[in-house]
C-alpha cells in the first residue's frame, strides 16, 4: 500500500481530517435517503480522482462501514497500483464473462473482490483493458452487480473515468446515488466543470458537489506543499509527485490464508442471502 493512501498511513494528519469531514458531509447530505453508491469523476486526467476515491473509501471503512471500492476506469485504472495488487481479473472480466486468460467463465462477483490491508475495505480492480468499456458498463449486468454488492456492503465507491474524454462515468452516474466531481486548483477550467455538470444532469445523474484538490495549505507554502499531500517541484506544479521506492509501504499485504477466509465468508453471505 502506497503512501498516497494518507488516511491509512497518517490518520492524524490534517489531510486525513479533511477526508473525515468530507465523509461526514456525504453522510448528512440527504436526510431522506442514505447515499450508499458514490461515483467519483473529474473533467480531465491528473486531477486526483483516484487519490480522492481511495482515501475517501478508507475513511468510510475506518468509521466501521463495510466498503467496496471499484476501479471503473477500465482504460487506465490505477487503484490496483495504489493498493499494490494485480489489476487482473477485475471489473471488465466480470462484466464480459471472460477471465484474464480469455476464457468464458461462470460469473461470480466474489472472484473479483480483493480484501485490502484496511479493515472493512475491499477492492474490485479494473481488469483486462476491453475494446468496449462504455458498452460493458451500459448493460443490465452493471445494475445487477451494484444491487448485488449492496447486499454485502454499506458503501460502494466507483472510481470512474474523466467525463470530458469518454462517456463511461456518464453511464455510471445514472446508476449511483450521487456523483462527486474532482477539480484541481488553478488547473481545472470553470467551463469544463460546467460542461461535466450539465452532461451528468442531462442523463439523469445527481451531483453532490465538487471536491477542490491540490489547494495550497498556506499561501507562503504554495510553491512546495499541496492539499494532494505530497511535495512538488515548484517548476512542475501541475503534475502529481513522483512515487519513489521509499514511498512504498513495507507492511505487506494480508496473508493468503486470511484473504481466503474473508472471501469465503463474503461468498457465503452473498450466495445465501435471500
Q: 3-state SS of 90-111? A: CHHHHHHCECCCCCECCCCHHH
> Please, are residues 41 and 188 in contact by the beta-carbon 8 Å criterion?
no
Enter the C-alpha cell of residue 119.
479493515
Answer whether 0.85 is exceeded by the pTM: no
> Please, are residues 99 and 88 in contact by the beta-carbon 8 Å criterion?
no
> Please, are residues 70 and 112 in contact by the beta-carbon 8 Å criterion?
no
CA atoms within 13 A on the CB side of 8: 24
- State the Cα–Cα distance between residues 235 and 219, nearest whole angstrom: 17
Could you list the pLDDT tens digit for every one of the 274 residues in the chain? 577 899 998 899 989 999 999 999 998 876 667 889 999 999 999 999 999 999 999 999 999 999 999 999 999 999 999 999 999 999 999 999 887 776 776 678 998 999 999 999 999 999 999 999 999 999 999 999 999 999 999 999 999 999 999 999 999 999 999 999 999 988 899 999 999 999 999 999 999 999 998 877 654 443 433 344 433 333 333 333 222 222 222 224 566 676 667 777 777 767 665 4
Query: Please, what CATH class does the domain formed by 6-272 belong to?
Result: alpha beta
Amino acid at each position: 500500500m502506497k503512501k498516497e493512501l494518507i488516511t491509512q498511513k497518517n490518520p492524524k494528519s490534517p489531510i486525513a481530517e479533511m477526508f473525515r469531514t468530507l465523509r461526514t458531509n456525504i453522510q448528512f447530505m440527504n436526510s431522506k435517503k442514505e447515499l450508499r453508491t458514490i461515483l467519483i469523476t473529474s473533467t480531465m486526467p491528473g486531477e486526483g480522482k483516484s487519490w480522492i476515491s481511495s482515501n475517501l473509501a478508507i475513511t468510510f471503512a475506518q468509521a466501521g462501514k463495510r466498503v467496496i471500492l471499484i476501479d471503473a476506469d477500465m482504460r487506465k485504472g490505477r487503484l490496483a497500483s495504489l493498493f499494490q495488487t494485480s489489476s487482473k481479473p477485475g471489473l471488465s472480466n466480470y462484466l464480459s464473462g471472460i477471465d484474464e486468460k480469455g476464457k468464458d467463465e461462470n460469473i461470480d462477483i466474489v472472484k473479483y473482490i480483493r480484501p485490502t490491508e484496511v479493515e472493512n475495505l475491499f477492492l474490485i480492480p479494473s481488469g483486462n483493458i476491453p475494446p468496449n468499456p462504455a458498452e460493458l458498463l451500459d448493460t443490465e449486468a452493471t445494475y445487477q452487480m451494484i444491487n448485488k454488492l449492496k447486499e454485502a456492503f454499506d458503501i460502494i465507491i466507483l472510481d470512474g473515468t474523466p467525463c470530458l474524454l469518454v462517456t463511461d462515468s456518464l453511464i455510471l452516474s445514472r446508476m449511483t446515488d450521487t456523483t462527486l466531481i474532482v477539480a484541481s486548483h488553478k488547473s481545472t477550467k470553470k467551463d469544463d466543470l460546467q460542461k461535466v455538470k450539465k452532461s451528468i444532469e442531462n442523463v439523469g445523474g445527481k451531483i453532490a458537489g465538487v471536491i477542490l484538490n491540490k489547494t495550497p495549505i498556506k499561501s507562503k507554502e504554495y510553491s512546495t506543499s499541496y492539499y494532494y499531500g505530497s511535495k512538488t517541484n515548484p517548476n512542475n506544479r501541475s503534475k502529481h509527485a513522483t512515487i519513489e521506492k521509499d514511498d512504498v509501504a513495507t507492511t505487506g499485504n494480508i496473508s493468503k490464508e486470511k484473504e481466503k477466509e474473508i472471501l469465503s465468508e463474503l461468498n457465503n453471505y452473498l450466495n445465501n442471502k435471500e
